[in-house]
Amino acid sequence: MNYLLTITKKFNNLTQRAKENKSIIILGIETSCDETAVAVVKNGRQILSNVIASQIDIHQKFGGVVPEVASRNHTLAINSCIDKALKDTGVIIGDIDAVAVTYGAGLLGALLVGVSSAKALAYTLQIPLIKVNHIEAHICANFIEYPNLTPPFLAVAASGGHTSLYEVLDYNKFVPIGGTTDDAIGEAFDKVARLLGLPYPGGPEIEKQAQQGKPTINFFKNSKAYYNKDLSLSYSGLKTAVVNYINNAKQRGEKLNVADICASFTKQAVDMLVDTTIYAVKNKGIKNIALAGGVAANNHLRQSLITEAEKISVSVFIPPSILCTDNAAMIASRAYFSIKSGEDLADLTLNAKANL
């Protein structure tokens, strides 16, 4: 039998097994940016292993991720990550039911390393290959952390590449309802950090500085409202306001209070997202919010969203930091729900997509 026929049959069989809640073990691969990650997850919610090889040290000296360097380092790391993810579980390679891989969005060359490895593995093992949308996967990190979380809920994905609001109507139905029209929130954190001479990635560094500062600077003094009732936001505007503030202060020869700038920027970046999210759940009568993505590791964002949601009796779900930033457990989790719905089976022509 040829590969396509074999995997279609196996995929249909897995869908049936998932519907009967029988054990399904998925190996997930994530290489969309600067983390080479491989994980093994059972039934979409139980992590058996979660290996993350970060390239942060390598990119730090460039002040940001260099795409070509990221691809090359994924190539170097991927095989040992797969080996370790399997060793850590105690399951043998023959126990893997399917391979899941991020095919977008992300850096094209980086994504291709994961996609090619996943294809090779799926073909060799003659098992189904499942294509995964990176942002939807971030949201699924909540299914791992909260076994009782079920759709519908509102999801907020806040990462280095995305700031998006989704109505998650079902495990396989993610409806975009808002988000940034320009820069992502994480991108704004990284750019402001760079301007202040803080190392990459900027988010955690700004968080450290902000803890020592006061949010006394209003970057939007003469600016119009920063979010809209159509649930669109702009982080480019805030970033430019911070750039102008810093340049003006430098021109006047004033010493910059980095801690206060970081605290003020964080407050305004977080307020924009939290206000928009609270407006969305009120407007749509939604009772649960799931936060996701690297910026969800930020304590001010976590606390602020919880506080504002409590006021209107809405529950907030947030994964632990290790599942907020890029990892492959979320990829395998997302794929499980695809399998259960009988969707997202890929074949060996699967290509990476920088934008999804």
Q: Residue 106 or 213: which CB sits closer to Zn ion?
A: 106
Q: List the one residue from 142, 163, 276, 325 that touches ligand KG4 (CB under 6 A).
A: 325
Nearest approach in angstroms of CB 60 to ligand KG4 is 12
Q: List the one residue from 187, 190, 271, 326 that touches Zn ion (CB under 5 A).
A: 326
Q: Which does residue 104 touch among ligand KG4, Zn ion, none (CB within 5 to 8 A, set by kind)?
A: none
Q: Residue 128 or 160: which CB sits closer to ligand KG4?
A: 160
Q: Which does residue 271 touch among ligand KG4, Zn ion, none (CB within 5 to 8 A, set by kind)?
A: none
Q: Residue 131 or 340: which CB sits closer to Zn ion?
A: 131
How far apart, in Å, do the first and last CA atoms of the chain sit? Answer: 33
Q: Amino acid identity, residue 280?
A: A
Cis peptide before 297 (omega within 30 of 0): no
Closest CA to 239 of 213, 279, 216, 206: 206
Question: 162: alpha, beta or left, given left = phi > 0 and alpha = psi -120 to 50?
Answer: beta
How does strand 25-30 pair with strand 35-42? antiparallel
Angle at 356 between CA 121 and CA 59, to 5 degrees: 70
Contacts to Zn ion from residues 135-164, by CB under 5 A = 159
Q: List the one residue from 26, 294, 318, 352 that touches ligand KG4 (CB under 6 A).
A: 294
> Cα–Cα distances in Å, from 78 out to 114, 126, 338?
8, 20, 24
Q: Residue 161 or 178: which CB sits closer to ligand KG4?
A: 161
Q: Is 349 exposed, middle or buried (0-12, 13-18, 19+ CB in 10 A)?
A: exposed
Q: List the one residue from 293, 308, 318, 337 that touches ligand KG4 (CB under 6 A).
A: 293
Q: Does 213 bind ligand KG4 (CB under 6 A)?
A: no
How many chain residues interact with Zn ion (CB under 5 A)?
A: 2
Q: Which two tokens stand for residue 324?
A: 């907020």
Q: Does 201 bind ligand KG4 (CB under 6 A)?
A: yes
d(C-alpha 200, C-alpha 297), whole Å: 15
d(C-alpha 89, C-alpha 38), whole Å: 12
Q: Does 189 bind ligand KG4 (CB under 6 A)?
A: yes
Q: List the one residue from 7, 25, 29, 33 that touches ligand KG4 (CB under 6 A).
A: 33
Evaluate whether 25 touches 95 at the Cβ level (below 8 Å): yes
Q: Residue 128 or 204: which CB sits closer to ligand KG4?
A: 204
Q: Amino acid identity, residue 348?
A: L
Closest CA to 315 of 289, 297, 280, 292: 289
Binding-site string for ligand KG4 from residue 39 to residue 78, where x marks contact by CB under 6 A and - marks none: ----------------------------------------
Binding-site string for ligand KG4 from residue 146 to residue 175, where x marks contact by CB under 6 A and - marks none: -------------xxx--------------
Sites of contact with Zn ion (CB under 5 A):
159, 326
